[in-house]
Amino acid sequence: MSDVLAVLEQREGALRKVSSEVVTGARRLADGLVGRVEALVLAAGSVQGIDHLGGFGADQVVTLTNGAFGRYAPEAYTRVIADRAQAGGYRAVVFAASATGRDLAPRVAARLGVGLAQDVTDVAVEGGAVTVIRPVYAGKALLKLTLTATPAIVSLRPNVFTPVQRPKAGSAETVAVHAPAGRVVVTAIKAAAAGTLDVAEAPIVISGGRGLKEPANFKVLEELAAAFGGRAAVGASRAVVDAGWRPHADQVGQTGKTVSPTLYIAVGISGAIQHLAGMRTSKVIVAINKDKDAPIFKVADYGVVGDLFEVVPRLTEEIKKLHG
Amino acid sequence: MKIAVCIKRVPDSETRVKIASDGKSLDEAGVKFILNPYDEFAVEEALRRKEQAGAGEVVIVTVGSAAAQETIRTALAMGADRGILLQTDKIPADGLEVARALAAEVKDSGYDLILFGKMAIDDYNHQVGPMVAELLDLPCVTAIAHLEIGGGKGTAEREIEGGVELVEFPLPAVLTADKGLNEPRYPALKGIMAAKKKPLQVKPATLGAGGLEVLALTPPPQRKEGRVVGEGPAAVLELLRLLREEAKVL
Amino acid sequence: MAKGAGSRETFLPAQYQPPLPLDQLIIQDGAAGAGDRMELDVVIVGAGPAGLAAAIELAQLARRDGTELNIGVLEKAAALGEHSLSGAVVNPRAFRELFPDLQEGDFPFRGPVRKEAVYLLTADRRVRLPVPPTMRNHGNSVASLCEIVRWLGEKAAALGVNIFTGFPAASLLVDGPRVVGVRTAATGLDRAGRPLANYLAPNDLVAKVTALAEGTRGMLAQAWCEWRQVTAENPEIFALGVKEIWETKRALGTIVHTLGWPLPSDAFGGSFMYPLAPNLVALGLVVGLDYRDSALDVHGLFQRMKRHPLFRRYLEGGEMVEWGAKTIPEGGYYSVPTRRSGDGVVMLGDSAGFVDVPSLKGIHYAMQSGMFAARAVFAALKHGDPSAVRLGDYDRMVNASFIMQDLYRTRNMRLAFKDGFYAGALKAGLMTLTGGRFPGGRIAMPRDADVARRLTPGLRPGSGEIPDGRLTFSKVDGVFKAGNATRDTIPTHLIVGRDVPSEAADFYARLCPAGVYERIDSGLRVNAPNCIDCKATDVLGPRWTPREGGSGPKYKRM
Ligand SMILES: Cc1cc2nc3c(=O)[nH]c(=O)nc-3n(C[C@H](O)[C@H](O)[C@H](O)COP(=O)(O)OP(=O)(O)OC[C@H]3O[C@@H](n4cnc5c(N)ncnc54)[C@H](O)[C@@H]3O)c2cc1C
Ligand SMILES: Cc1cc2nc3c(=O)[nH]c(=O)nc-3n(C[C@H](O)[C@H](O)[C@H](O)COP(=O)(O)OP(=O)(O)OC[C@H]3O[C@@H](n4cnc5c(N)ncnc54)[C@H](O)[C@@H]3O)c2cc1C
Ligand code: SF4
């Protein structure tokens, strides 16, 4: 009883990026438990991208197929995964704390009658026990927990478990399974319109403040965002939202949105505490400001002192080169 | 339409987090408690559904300390009909224990809908609603931002990465509310007066410890002091190098 | 474009101050626009010590008499005490009278004053002064007004008083010369004043008697006085206090007051530092709003003050946990309106100016005035006659009590400082020696807004020291620590004069402790959500009006 089940996600037959993070987290547990990682994905047919998972530390990848598994089917997924978890005698089951994982993990846990730690940012095995760290109180504190029941069920916060290359001779297997019809049916998925990436969701956020001088100048930031190829959203400080330059939906801060992207670039923003309250948990913060005493430099991992109208275009140029 | 709304009393989101001397919990001295904001969406939705149906009952259920009665009153002031407090001194870290207590309470009471907030803003547990659904074998949709109900069925929308899922389900069902579902109403003066007289039942609850044990509550690590890479456009190349090689975010 | 107006050397705040919006603050009963209407016997505006003491005393009188009274208290803060800010060293006498069955230890105090010290400061030194008799605090206790208010609120609720938090009274409802109730502010409007999905219309609360206990610079109280032409011998004058609470590494055992630095000699004021607990220290700086230098910034001076060794030795290494600001009515005896009652209305506490400045006391006067008002109101209701004649008993009780006696004794003391600190200190000393008889008569005072301010060309707000974020803080840091998370999109509640010149913009920017006003190239920017309801600009500039309930600060231990 030392194996770990990693529950992966696919959309339209393609493995989602978060899956490699799940395998990475599961591998960390399995190493501590001296066990194997079995990765599981539910799909309508074969799944693109699973062959890479061995490289992140999966010993085996199992695809369970059923015509109803194309889209998320809460009840069928719950039953199939819970059955598998029980039959396999796993010590831990790892999900992604994605929209699907956060829905699925509690059902599986309740079905198995064991506790669940959602949205964890760290997992470990200490003295044989599975421990996790979870941000609580809006990230103002970290809770360290141990999961005493078996299997220990955890979901991993996306974008935290950086996938680590760990070659394993992973075997792949596809099994068609029977599943009960569920009452809850996902009838459609409406894709978000292109270019409307919400600041709260985007992995990269570029925010502009009063330093941009006038609304038209936000073009400079939009060009930088475009250079990141659709992964970046443009945010704003309250000062520019108040002035009517940007919509309130783009405001980052205490009374706007709280964001936690991998990369946050603050441009022409002084870094008032109310602004920081909305972005201080970003993984990496970059600040571009012409005032070297601006408080934003106290929290920026990397600061550039200078005129944004010179620095940002240059940055855009270089990013474009990088992304070819 | 008979609707149960499961709510939680939580510290205000503006709370300055001070860790208690046990090193495992929040120091509650001077902390202001409020109705969990996501639960407000659930209460509002329940009230609207009842108003739309023209008849029914909205029952507020919570697991909490005696002080949670105040939180129930807030929901009653918004317009809910009655409240039930499952009183316990300590809410266990394991959400499944809370789910068991709630499931036992709402079971077989003829609810058409059992609503929750998608998560509580203190423990971010994100689990009690769907667990109750599983325990009661009810259909469940979590984190909904839009809801339509008619003819014993419902359609909900929930946000997923890069899109929106449209979900159909039959009633009775368990739903958890996300921001955007509605704009919760403010309690009106009349509502506040009326709430004082609405029934509020207090029952002792015994919850198990569950399978989660708190080892420690700690402040998050301090961010490293900021660092200036350089001045002007000339600093851009160095910035990119650091982002790639040191921070590894590009 | 902001342009210089008026003379170059001085600036007169009154010139740019809009009038009190009487048409908004006083409306006819039955005017359109209200949602629910509720009838009460007594409605009390403001859950401060004055309003809550009045509510408790009324409920106790009714209970003893076996009558049922429907009492409602409206409070603009989202929860009790969240807009309460004081020093505070409290004189317990009003508590004793209101709660005869309770012991001293039952009161919501942090602890008795054991030691006190008064210092005259210079930039880096201090001189200990003998404690003037008017400042002695033996027998008093240190307390947090937020805690007092929550405690009083519980007592009131237990007596059946309805406390409505998050409901500002926006207007007086009148019928002829009579006040018949209040209308609350609307909730859920967008910036342009259009209703949002969760819009809640104003409510009309009609009552036989309306008690105005809004605290300092009460809007309804001001409006009523102006409407009924109720005046005082002197206009009311104000001071602004900025305050912080610190968790300190070093324990403080003494209450401390200081005079002198960092104030210029033509400003009146001083600082206080009180231990709420040995390692929890409240400190603040209070400055009279008749200061002469238009560049004076109370928040900025307070930040500078903390660098003085006297304060720094306690604060360094500690953490600032709360920040706030509020004005204090300082006029004293001669500024108390000749009447504090009228048809269907009474005015209590700070709204009526019951503050003794030399001792920096208002809480027990506020409570006592509330109790007197309750007695007069109860008697009037018993007679079924809440007219000015009956309610005039309240004024008589106040006049015959220690409230007016105390204020009379120090009647000219604050006023003596109008021409500067040193002359003032000398005169105040003589007054103390002569029991208030020197210099005889009344020193006349202008309104604060009528005091001309010296301009220093070229100096712009923000050109001062850069806060370090550890010992010293910016205004927006402060606003954050005040717990202010006001919705960004509510309609502005501040009425700014038209075409204010740049010197007015600069003046407001320095005056406002919350960074509401910013001088930008094109003129004045008003960040209305920053406002923490201190009312300083209502005294000297833009008018404050009630806004959506629950906006503003969320003080916890102020
Ligand atoms: C209750 C409350 C809630 C609030 N909520 C929020 C919130 O949610 N979000 C938020 O952002 N703020 C919020 N604020 C406001 C906050 O306090 C600040 O006022 C605001 O963040 C300032 O915006 P800014 O940095 O764009 O403007 P400023 O403070 O004016 O800063 C502009 C910066 O641009 C720099 N700059 C100027 N020109 C250039 C140039 N050419 N190149 C490079 N740099 C340049 C300047 O050096 C300066 O640092 C809130 C305030 C309160 C009181
Ligand atoms: C810095 C400072 C230090 C002080 N130190 C001391 C001291 O050490 N000892 C002492 O005895 N006194 C002190 N005072 C004075 C004392 O705090 C006041 O005299 C006292 O609080 C007055 O009580 P009140 O009930 O009249 O008004 P407040 O305490 O101001 O209460 C008024 C209440 O009414 C509410 N309100 C106002 N308008 C409306 C409206 N339109 N609708 C609904 N609600 C409204 C307000 O939000 C507030 O809660 C100090 C004051 C300050 C500012
Ligand atoms: S705007 Fe608000 S915070 Fe600023 S001085 Fe006026 S009342 Fe005080």
> What pLDDT does A194 receive?
65
- Of the candidates C409, C426, C443, which is a domain's last residue? C409
> What pLDDT does C421 receive?
65
Between chains, do C38 and B190 touch, taking CB under 8 Å as contact?
Answer: yes
In terms of domains, do C30 and C153 share one? yes
* DSSP H or E stretch at residue A80: helix A74-88
Q: Looking at the complex, does the CB of residue C464 fall below 8 Å from at least one CB of chain A?
A: no
Q: What is the mean pLDDT of residues C248-261?
A: 95
Give contacts of A277 with chain C, Cβ < 8 Å.
480
Q: What is the mean pLDDT of residues A37-45?
A: 96
In terms of domains, do C390 and C517 share one? no
Tokens of B144: 């909904």
Q: Is A121 in the pocket of ligand 1 (CB under 6 A)?
A: no
Burial class (CB in 10 A: 0-12, 13-18, 19+), C434: exposed
> What pLDDT does A200 receive?
86
Expressed in angstroms, the distance from the first to the final Cα of chain C is 40
Give contacts of C162 with chain B, Cβ < 8 Å.
192-193
> What pLDDT does A192 receive?
74
The answer to whether position B219 is within a domain reads no
> What pLDDT does B161 receive?
85
Nearest to C321 among B16, B32, B192 (CB): B16
The SS3 of residue C421 is helix
Between chains, do B192 and C197 touch, taking CB under 8 Å as contact?
Answer: no
The answer to whether position B235 is within a domain reads no
Q: Lowest-pLDDT range, A195-199, A293-297, B124-128?
A: A195-199
Q: Convert C284-320 to b/e letters by CB count within 10 Å (16 or more is b).
A: bbbbbbbbeebbbbbbbbbbbbbbbebbeebbeebeb
Could you tell me which CATH number the domain at A204-322 has?
3.40.50.1220
In terms of domains, do C9 and C64 share one? no
CATH of the domain at B42: 3.40.50.620
Residue C392's domain comprises 22-85+147-235+333-409
Q: What is the mean pLDDT of chain B?
A: 95
**pLDDT tens figures, A82-136:** 999 999 999 999 999 999 999 999 999 999 999 999 999 999 999 999 999 999 9
The answer to whether position B180 is within a domain reads yes
The answer to whether position B130 is within a domain reads yes
Q: Is A320 in the pocket of ligand 1 (CB under 6 A)?
A: no
Local confidence band at C3 (pLDDT 50, 70, 90 cut-offs): very low
> What pLDDT does C6 receive?
46
Q: Is C535 in the pocket of ligand 3 (CB under 6 A)?
A: yes
The answer to whether position C116 is within a domain reads no
Look at residue A52 and tell me whether its pLDDT is greater than 50: yes
In terms of domains, do C12 and C67 share one? no
> What pLDDT does A165 receive?
86
Give chain B's domain count.
1
The answer to whether position C486 is within a domain reads yes
Residues sharing a CB contact under 8 Å with residue C11, sequence separation 6 or more, in sequence order: C294, C452, C453, C455, C503, C504, C507
The answer to whether position C156 is within a domain reads yes
Q: Count of CB contacts below 8 A, A vs C?
A: 29
> What pLDDT does C5 receive?
45
> What pLDDT does A324 receive?
66
The answer to whether position C30 is within a domain reads yes
Between chains, do A272 and C485 touch, taking CB under 8 Å as contact?
Answer: no
Residues sharing a CB contact under 8 Å with residue B95, sequence separation 6 or more, in sequence order: A106, A115, A116, B123, B125, B127, B128, B131
Local confidence band at B101 (pLDDT 50, 70, 90 cut-offs): very high
Give chain C's domain count.
2
> CA-to-CA distance for C424 and C410, rounded, in angstroms?
13
Q: Does domain A4-176 have CATH number 3.40.50.620?
A: yes
Q: Identify the residue whose C-alpha is closest to ligand 2 atom 13.
A: C361
In terms of domains, do C218 and C180 share one? yes
Between chains, do A272 and C529 touch, taking CB under 8 Å as contact?
Answer: no
Local confidence band at B30 (pLDDT 50, 70, 90 cut-offs): confident
* DSSP H or E stretch at residue A112: helix A99-112
Q: What is the mean pLDDT of residues C390-395?
A: 98
What is the nearest CA distance from B231 to chain C, expressed in angstroms? 21
Q: Is C283 in the pocket of ligand 3 (CB under 6 A)?
A: no
> What pLDDT does C2 receive?
40
CATH of the domain at C518: 3.30.70.20
> CA-to-CA distance for C540 and C450, rounded, in angstroms?
9
Nearest to B99 among A110, A118, A149 (CB): A110
> What pLDDT does A319 receive?
95
Give contacts of C184 with chain B, Cβ < 8 Å.
189
Return the percentage of chain A with pLDDT > 90, whole number: 83
Local confidence band at B91 (pLDDT 50, 70, 90 cut-offs): very high
Look at residue C4 and tell me whether its pLDDT is greater than 80: no
Residues sharing a CB contact under 8 Å with residue C88, sequence separation 6 or more, in sequence order: C142, C143, C144, C145, C148, C274, C282, C363
Q: Looking at the complex, does the CB of residue B95 fall below 8 Å from at least one CB of chain A?
A: yes
Neighbours of chain C (3+ CB pairs under 8 A): A, B
Give contacts of A280 with chain B, Cβ < 8 Å.
223
> CA-to-CA distance for A248 and C475, rounded, in angstroms?
23
Look at residue A61 and tell me whether its pLDDT is greater than 60: yes
Neighbours of chain B (3+ CB pairs under 8 A): A, C
Q: Lowest-pLDDT range, A67-71, C319-323, C442-446?
A: C442-446
The answer to whether position B210 is within a domain reads no
The answer to whether position C80 is within a domain reads yes
Three-class HEC string of chain B: CEEEEEECEEECCCCCCCECCCCCCECCCCCCEEECHHHHHHHHHHHHHHHHHCCCEEEEEEEECCCHHHHHHHHHHHCCCEEEEEECCCCCCCHHHHHHHHHHHHCCCCCCEEEEECCCCCCCCCCHHHHHHHHHCCCEEEEEEEEEEECCEEEEEEEECCEEEEEEEECCEEEEECCCCCCCCCCCHHHHHHHCCCCEEEEECCCCCCCEEEEEEECCCCCCCCCEEEECHHHHHHHHHHHHHHCCCC
> What pLDDT does C463 receive?
61
Q: Lowest-pLDDT range, A11-25, C123-137, C532-546?
A: C123-137
> What pLDDT does C9 receive?
87
CATH of the domain at C75: 3.50.50.60
Closest-approaching ligand to the CA atom of A292: 1
Sign of the CA dihedral A248, A252, A258, A264? positive
Q: How many helices (H) and strands (E) does chain C have?
A: 15, 27
Q: Looking at the complex, does the CB of residue C160 fall below 8 Å from at least one CB of chain B?
A: no
Q: What is the mean pLDDT of chain C?
A: 93
Q: How far is the CA of A238 from the centre of ligand 1 (A)?
A: 7
Give contacts of A103 with chain B, Cβ < 8 Å.
130, 142-143
Cα-trace Rg, chain A: 22
Look at residue C486 and tell me whether its pLDDT is greater than 80: yes
> What pLDDT does C384 receive?
96
In terms of domains, do C156 and C71 share one? yes
The answer to whether position C170 is within a domain reads yes
Q: What is the mean pLDDT of residues B63-85?
A: 97
> What pLDDT does C102 receive?
97
Q: What is the mean pLDDT of residues C365-376?
A: 98
> What pLDDT does C443 receive?
84
The answer to whether position C297 is within a domain reads no
> CA-to-CA distance for B250 and C4, rounded, in angstroms?
52
Tell which residue, A166, A159, A164, A163, has the closest CA to residue A121. A159
The answer to whether position B40 is within a domain reads yes
Tell which residue, C335, C382, C279, C318, has the closest CA to residue C69. C382
**pLDDT tens figures, C172-190:** 999 999 999 999 999 999 9
Q: Which atom of ligand 3 is nearest to the CA of C532?
A: 3
The answer to whether position C269 is within a domain reads no
Instruction: For chain A, positions 241-270, list CB contacts with chain B under 8 A.
Output: 262-263
Local confidence band at C522 (pLDDT 50, 70, 90 cut-offs): confident
Selected for mutation to probe chain B from C149, C151, C167 (highest B CB count within 10 Å) is C167
What is the nearest CA distance from C33 to chain B, expressed in angstroms? 16
Q: What is the mean pLDDT of residues C521-525?
A: 85
Between chains, do C487 and A255 touch, taking CB under 8 Å as contact?
Answer: yes
Domain with CATH 3.40.50.620 in chain A: 4-176
Q: Identify the residue whose C-alpha is closest to ligand 2 atom 16.
A: C362
Q: What is the mean pLDDT of residues C491-514?
A: 94
Q: What is the mean pLDDT of residues C53-67?
A: 97
What is the nearest CA distance from C517 to chain B, expressed in angstroms? 24
Tell which residue, B96, B102, B127, B105, has the closest CA to residue A113. B96
The answer to whether position B107 is within a domain reads yes
> CA-to-CA distance for C480 and B219, rounded, in angstroms?
20
Tokens of A75: 């009840």
Look at residue C91 and tell me whether its pLDDT is greater than 70: yes
Local confidence band at C1 (pLDDT 50, 70, 90 cut-offs): very low
Between chains, do C488 and A274 touch, taking CB under 8 Å as contact?
Answer: no
- Give C458 or C511, the one with higher predicted confidence: C511
| Cis amide leading into A151 (omega within 30) | yes
Query: Scanning the structure block, which residue is given the tokens 């209502």?
Result: C538
Residue B31's domain comprises 2-204
Selected for mutation to probe chain C from A248, A254, A289 (highest C CB count within 10 Å) is A254
Local confidence band at B11 (pLDDT 50, 70, 90 cut-offs): very high
**pLDDT tens figures, B135-158:** 999 999 999 999 999 999 999 999
Query: Scanning the structure block, which residue is given the tokens 């478990």?
Result: A161
In terms of domains, do C155 and C72 share one? yes
In terms of domains, do C55 and C167 share one? yes
The answer to whether position B35 is within a domain reads yes
Q: Looking at the complex, does the CB of residue A292 fall below 8 Å from at least one CB of chain B?
A: yes
Question: Do C313 and C388 contact (CB within 8 A), yes or no?
Answer: no
Q: Which atom of ligand 2 is nearest to the CA of C365?
A: 19
What is the nearest CA distance from B201 to chain A, expressed in angstroms? 27
Name every protein residue with a CB atom under 6 angstroms from any ligand 2 atom.
C 45-51, 74-77, 83-90, 145, 168-169, 213-216, 218-220, 241, 243, 284, 286, 326, 328, 349-351, 355, 360-364, 366, 546
